[in-house]
Amino acid sequence: MSAPLTHFFKHLSYTLLRRRSRLLLHPPYSPLTLFLTASYKAKDPSPSSNTANAKLSSSSASCIPTKAEESFTYPSYLSVHIRCRKDVADMLSEALLCFGASSTTMDEEDTFKNSDEIFIDSIFPEGEDVNLCILHAANSIGLKEIPHYEVKMGEQYDWIKKTQESFHPVEVIEGIWVVPQWRSPPDVQATNIILNPGLAFGTGEHPTTKMCLLLLHRLIKGGELVFDYGTGSGVLAIAALKFGAALSVGIDVDPQAITSARQNAALNDIRPEKMQLHLVPGKTRPSSMDERICGIVEEQESNGMGVISETGKYDVVIANILLNPLLDLADDIVSYAKPGAVIGLSGILSDQLSYIIEQYSPFLEGISVSEIDGWACVSGRKKRNLADS
Amino acid sequence: MAATIRLTVPAGAARPAPPVGPALGQYRLNLMAFCKDFNARTQKYKPDTPMAVTITAFKDNTFEFIVKSPSVTWYLKKAAGIESGSSRPSHVVASSITLKHVYEIAKIKQSDPYCQYMSLESISKSIIGTANSMGIKVVKDLD
């Protein structure tokens, strides 16, 4: 960038800052989107900064977007390719994250031989002012020049596909496989749980999923009612049915999880009445005393329809989630189990065990723990004569 | 041969969506495993605290990662929105933040495992010290 332009640029950003009395930068509308084709819909621009930025962009060669005409219906991030000196790359990466970048990636392979330069690939949220961020970042580490960079619309599709390519069939226990939808089961005679996990958790590869599957396999003899608290991809609910349970009920706070679980149930030829799935609100309040006594808890789905689940009804309750919800929702999780039923809890690290055991000791007896690779699974039977808390 | 990926991810809230999705998907890393691992390890932080993650991706699609709460410098830069720290810290003031900013940053740092025994006051003093060394002025109120 030529000297006078740099000066103008600095002045502009100073002006922009002054206009904002709030000190946390709200990104002004990105100048790039003015040059993109109609496939990209503009969001609310702030009129004053728009024109100024537009003028700048037209004279700055490093801002011209490539691949702008690729039309994706829902572009939601910007992919920026930056070239800079190797010796400042680490600092620049960290600085970019301070000023608006969501991620930076440096690949050792990306360097030119005998060159002192390296590429940084950076992701920005849609609507972020990439220009301004790179300027701030470069200035904050004392660079005299703005590094050369290119901006493209981020591709939504590729990375989903790429991660899905990495799933392979997994034999969790002898004779029991979790198989991605697009691969054929290595052993057609085995119990095969077919999954298209989508964006929900639960592919069978994780130690916690494995421990829960082992637990279910040990417990289910036939005819049980199973409750999957935090169902994700539905893998545990489906497995329970395959092992012989009469009914699986799965709940989750993530709509994507419920969608994935429904699809996966269909992939395994499971009828909706055998595997019932409910989307529940994020902040689940424990049911009131009166509701508990009646044995019925009514939960609202996000679309307003009432959903009825029965407490104290299930033979097995399994919750493979995270430490904090396991602690906060202990009352709720335990409420679904019949007295004497087994409750399985996972998604916790071994060093988080003591918190879980402390929280669940009032509810469970015969507590046992299994661990794989630093992950833990706790199980126990619901005490028969629990006083309602 | 490896790649270094740096991300800011809210504690306990990693999902296979941007930025995690594209950044890790590029190297075919197991997104779900990362999210589960990251979320489990960040349970002790206040939910949605932006965590600084550095991932090293290896050629065989395996990876390692380190999680830290962002440095005080990171917070100060964000709060002040500055272009650069001052080159003469005690003389030229580059930008300003308020005591409220300092307090908010101190609260976040207090949930860092290594800071839990420190008082909010002593953490705040340390933050003000860092701000001064960056040439950032701490004022009571702005505008």
DSSP A6-49: HHHHHHHHHHHHHH--SSSPPPPPPGGGGGS-TTSPP----HHH
Query: Is the Cβ of A302 closer than 8 Å to some Cβ of chain B?
Result: no
User: What integer is the mean pLDDT of A189-217?
Assistant: 85
Rounded Cα distance between A171 and A177, Å, is 4
Using alpha carbons, list the distances in angstroms from residue B1 to A21, A382, B25. 46, 51, 18
Rounded Cα distance between A40 and A63, Å, is 17
Residue type, A329: L
Per-residue pLDDT tens digits for A302-341: 333 334 467 889 999 999 999 999 999 999 999 999 999 9
* Residue A150 predicted with pLDDT over 60: yes
Rounded Cα distance between B47 and A370, Å, is 28
* Residue A215 predicted with pLDDT over 90: yes
Q: In terms of pLDDT, which residue wins out, A134 or A112?
A: A134
User: How many residues in chain B?
Assistant: 143
* Residue B105 predicted with pLDDT over 50: yes
Using alpha carbons, list the distances in angstroms from residue A332 to A107, A197, A288, A338, B36. 46, 26, 11, 13, 22
Q: In terms of pLDDT, which residue wins out, B48 or A338?
A: A338
Using alpha carbons, list the distances in angstroms from residue A92 to A80, A98, A125, A322, B135. 14, 10, 18, 34, 20
* Residue A380 predicted with pLDDT over 70: yes
Q: Give residue A388's pLDDT band: very low, low, confident or very high (50, 70, 90).
A: low
Query: Is the Cβ of B84 closer than 8 Å to some Cβ of chain A?
Result: yes
DSSP state of A116: S
pLDDT at A304: 32
Of B23, B28, B98, the CB nearest to A166: B28
Per-residue pLDDT tens digits for A173-198: 888 999 988 889 999 999 999 998 66
pLDDT at A10: 44
- Residue B32 tokens, joined: 């779900």
Query: Is the Cβ of B92 closer than 8 Å to some Cβ of chain A?
Result: no
* Residue A264 predicted with pLDDT over 90: yes
The DSSP bridge partners found for residue A222 are none
* Residue A246 predicted with pLDDT over 90: yes
* Residue A267 predicted with pLDDT over 60: yes
* Residue B19 predicted with pLDDT over 70: yes
Per-residue pLDDT tens digits for A37-56: 333 333 333 443 333 333 33
Q: Give residue A206's pLDDT band: very low, low, confident or very high (50, 70, 90).
A: confident
* Residue B136 predicted with pLDDT over 50: yes
pLDDT at A276: 95
* Residue A248 predicted with pLDDT over 70: yes
Query: Is the Cβ of A351 closer than 8 Å to some Cβ of chain B?
Result: no
Q: Give residue A387's pLDDT band: very low, low, confident or very high (50, 70, 90).
A: low
* Whether this model's pTM surpasses 0.80: no
Contact B32 A106 (CB under 8 A): no
pLDDT at A319: 97
CB pairs under 8 A between A and B: 153
Contact B77 A160 (CB under 8 A): no
Rounded Cα distance between A132 and A49, Å, is 12
Q: Give residue B114's pLDDT band: very low, low, confident or very high (50, 70, 90).
A: low
User: What integer is the mean pLDDT of A122-149?
Assistant: 87
Phi, psi (degrees; rounded to nearest 5) at A388: -65, 130
Query: What does the CA dihedral A115, A117, A123, A126 come to, rounded to 10 degrees?
Result: -110
Q: In terms of pLDDT, which residue wins out, A309 or A77?
A: A77
- Residue B75 tokens, joined: 């917070």
Contact A107 B3 (CB under 8 A): yes
- Residue A86 tokens, joined: 């190797």
Q: Give residue A120's pLDDT band: very low, low, confident or very high (50, 70, 90).
A: very high
> Quick check: A102 and A123 in contact, CB under 8 A?
yes
User: How many residues in chain A?
Assistant: 389
pLDDT at B81: 67
Of B2, B15, B19, the CB nearest to A108: B2
- Residue A147 tokens, joined: 């590094």
pLDDT, chain A, mean: 76
For chain A, positions 185-204, list CB contacts with chain B under 8 A: 197, 199, 201-203
Q: Which candidate, B6, B27, B19, places its Cα nearest to that of A104?
A: B6
CB atoms within 10 A of CB A3: 7
pLDDT at A113: 62
Contact A165 B28 (CB under 8 A): yes
Query: What does the CA dihedral B31, B36, B42, B48 come to, rounded to 10 degrees?
Result: 70
Kindly write down the DSSP assignment for every residue of B12-74, as one continuous string. Answer: T---SSTTHHHHHHTTT--HHHHHHHHHHHTTTSPTTPEEEEEEEEETTS-EEEEEEPPPHHH
Contact A98 B77 (CB under 8 A): yes
Contact B31 A163 (CB under 8 A): yes
Residue appearing with tokens 């990693």: B14
Q: Give residue B78's pLDDT band: very low, low, confident or very high (50, 70, 90).
A: confident
Using alpha carbons, list the distances in angstroms from residue A380 to A170, A312, A365. 27, 16, 6
Rounded Cα distance between A191 and A213, Å, is 12
Phi, psi (degrees; rounded to nearest 5) at A206: -75, 140
Contact A201 B36 (CB under 8 A): yes
Per-residue pLDDT tens digits for A153-179: 887 766 666 777 777 888 988 889 999
